[in-house]
Amino acid sequence: METPEWSALMNHRAQLEGLPLRELFQQDAQRYPRMTLEAAGLTLDYSRNRVTDQTLGLLADLARGRGLPERVDALFRGEQLNTTENRPALHTALRQPQDQPVKVDGENIMPAIQATLERMEIFTNTVRGGEWRGMNGDTITDVVSIGIGGSYLGPLTATEALTPFQSEHPRCHYVANVDGSDIREALAGLNPATTLFLVQSKSFTTQETLANARVARQWFLHGGGTETTVQHHFAAVTANADRARDFGIAGDSIFPMWDWVGGRYSLWSAIGLPVALAVGMPRFRELLAGAHAMDQHFQQAPPEQNMPMLMGLMGLWYMHGFGAESQAVIPYDHYLRHLPEHLQQLDMESNGKSVCLDGSPVSHHTGPVIWGGPGVNGQHAYHQLLHQGTRLVPVDFILPLTSHNPADGHHAMLAANCLAQARALMLGRTEQEVRAAMIAEGMAEDEAQRLAPHRAIPGNRPSNLLTMERLEPATLGALIALYEHRTFVQAAIWRINPFDQWGVELGKEIGGQILPALNGEPDTDMAFDSATAGQIARFRAAQGSGSGSR
Ligand code: F6P
């Protein structure tokens, strides 16, 4: 990025070199209140970042210089930002009130969105209220959502996050992997007469989803179902209604998707149906409202006070200024345990790109590796690398201030751990401090000298702390929308397209060539490379000798 704003940032970087975070805190008692921002029920404490007011000003200059505010307007207006598929990306329209029209090809899409929400409401009320009956006249006790990627991770994350808001029935289960063990385990213990399947696939061509849907159908038919009663037990969410109908799903039970919603941004569409079935439609609408509140903040706040922009810009600062290759997301909340997985797909499928919008190669790294897991578990696994490893890994900690299950002081312990991690990363411990502490405990000086380098912690490692009063539908909606926009901010600065995913296609295509060869179908002798051909032969030999365990 050869822009004057970027050069100014890089020059400024050298000034920060000798100014560790612990010193920035010592110099400025107001650092925390100044570097705290509220939006849509979330509070971002970004004081533990390697930034000064000057850095933030320069990052805001970069955002303006790269036209970020104009890109945000274009996103919400429904411009065709997905330039390789000639579509807008209008997930924001799915969560906005009806009174503001949004047009695609001259047509206002808001009535179709509202009509779908109303259909979802009727459907969820019917199933949750026990009026939807299965083949034997029983009510539905279990819903199995079959989908993968964006048609799986968003609903799974939200369903788990909203566990305290779930009714006893229906219980929601998710199947994604084409590994037969996934669906086998999901169906174990379920009753075909009281189970409803939701086939979730925008394209209705995804191999994994269709294979699992076929297994589900067979299981249902073997469990007493018939071709006619399939209609009482299968519904679909798709942009390809014909295919869903061919599968045997009744038109009334097919909910629409639109090509202007990307898979990884589709939680807010009817793809969120399993969430609505689990928590009820009013809660689902609260989820949408929370996301909309974040949308409004993103559209209206200046870069200096804009949560997604600040997070996106500071992420760039670490990648390009300090060589960070990854971003950790560590929620201190058991119910948010799937969030890192969802954000991984959201960001890595969006920004894992090597060319700019005009097709020219980028001159720098793009999307970071997104990873993480629930705190505190990670403290006893990978946090060692965060504290003493050679890599700089910026961390987002997420902490609801109150718990749905505060049992026996657990929540204060959880919060103490979260705050301690952020503080330890920031502060570190110098060799002198370590040595002095060991000598004070009675250790001999030469032993303290020997151990000090091993026990010193560099510190100066950046983190954000995102808090909310309570994890509930609205705050969850705001949280997920925050990360969607953070991803968009980085794509806009890099001038890449975050809304396509051509890289995924090659694997699908080659998988389609290998499968018949693995199955030993005739005329599939493709000229595979020696490694692939060798592994195909081994796989086929193993099928001859192998035996299933169950
Ligand atoms: O993994 C690639 C992908 O195309 C995702 O973007 C998408 O969410 C997923 O596959 C599933 O696609 P579909 O909803 O069409 O089954």
Domain 34-80+292-333+348-401+411-494 bears CATH identifier 2.60.200.30:
no
User: What digits encode the pLDDT tens for the residues 374-409?
Assistant: 999 999 999 999 999 999 999 999 999 999 998 889
Calpha distance 139→314 (Å, rounded): 51
10 alpha carbon to ligand 1 midpoint, in Å?
38
Burial class (CB in 10 A: 0-12, 13-18, 19+), 5: middle
Residue 549 pLDDT class (50, 70, 90 cuts): very low
Q: Is 80 in the pocket of ligand 1 (CB under 6 A)?
A: no
Average pLDDT in the chain: 96
| Mean pLDDT along residues 151-176 | 97
C-beta neighbour count of 485 within 10 angstroms = 25
High-pLDDT (> 90) share of the chain, %: 95
Per the residue annotation, which of 2, 380, 441, 509 is the catalytic one? 380
Whole-number percent of the chain with pLDDT over 70? 98
Beta bridge partners of residue 331, listed in sequence order: 398
Taking the C-alpha atoms of residue 50 and residue 417, their distance in angstroms, rounded to an integer, is 22
Is the pLDDT at 239 greater than 90, yes or no? yes
> Would the pLDDT of 441 be above 60?
yes
Q: Can you give 366-428 as a three-state secondary structure string? A: CCCEEEECCCCHHHHCCHHHHHHCCCCCCEEEEEECCCCCCHHHHHHHHHHHHHHHHHHHHHC
Task: Report the pLDDT value the prediction gives residue 525, as an integer from 0 to 100.
Answer: 62
| Cα separation, 13 vs 392, whole angstroms | 15
What's the pLDDT score for residue 98?
A: 84
Per-residue pLDDT band for 501 (boundaries 50, 70, 90) equals very high
pLDDT, tens digit, 9 for 90 and up, residues 68-96: 999 999 999 999 999 999 999 999 999 99
How much is the pTM? Answer: 0.97
Q: Which of 47, 46, 43 is nearest to 28 (CA)?
A: 47
| Minimum mean pLDDT range among 121-125, 337-341, 419-423, 511-515 | 511-515
Q: What is the mean pLDDT of residues 265-283?
A: 98
Per-residue pLDDT, averaged over 356-360, amounts to: 96
**In ligand 1, which atom is closest to the CA atom of 209?**
16
- Is 292 annotated in the active site? no
Instruction: Determine the pLDDT at residue 1.
Output: 76
151 CB less than 6 Å from ligand 1? yes
Q: Please write the tens of the pLDDT for every residue from 219-228.
A: 999 999 999 9
pLDDT of residue 15: 87
- The catalytic residue among 131, 447, 505, 508 is 508
Q: Which of 237, 341, 347, 504 has most ligand 1 atoms within 8 Å of CB, for mutation? A: 504
By C-alpha distance, which of 77, 472, 38, 96 is closest to 288? 96
Token pair 């018949």 is found at 516
Residue 368 CA, ligand 1 centroid: distance in Å: 21
What are the sequence ranges of the domains in the chain?
34-80+292-333+348-401+411-494, 110-257, 505-545
User: Is 249's pLDDT higher than 70?
Assistant: yes
Which CA distances in Å does 168 have to 192, 280, 472? 18, 12, 18
| Protein residue with least CA distance to atom 6, ligand 1 | 263
Fold for the domain defined by 110-257: Rossmann fold (3.40.50)
For residue 526, the number of C-alpha atoms closer than 13 Å in the C-beta half-sphere is 17
Between CA 155 and CA 143 the distance in angstroms is 13
Strand partners, 399: 467
User: How large is the average pLDDT for residues 460-486?
Assistant: 98
Instruction: Decide if 34-80+292-333+348-401+411-494 and 110-257 have a common fold.
Output: yes
364 part of the active site:
no
Residue 501 near ligand 1, beta carbon < 6 Å: yes
CB proximity list for 279: less than 8 A, separation 6 or greater: 159, 162, 165, 166, 167, 473
**Residue 117 in contact with residue 268, Cβ under 8 Å?**
no
Q: Do residues 233 and 115 touch, judged by C-beta distance below 8 A?
A: no
- Per-residue pLDDT band for 17 (boundaries 50, 70, 90) equals confident
d(CA 246, CA 234) in angstroms, rounded, equals 12
Averaged pLDDT for residues 409-416:
96
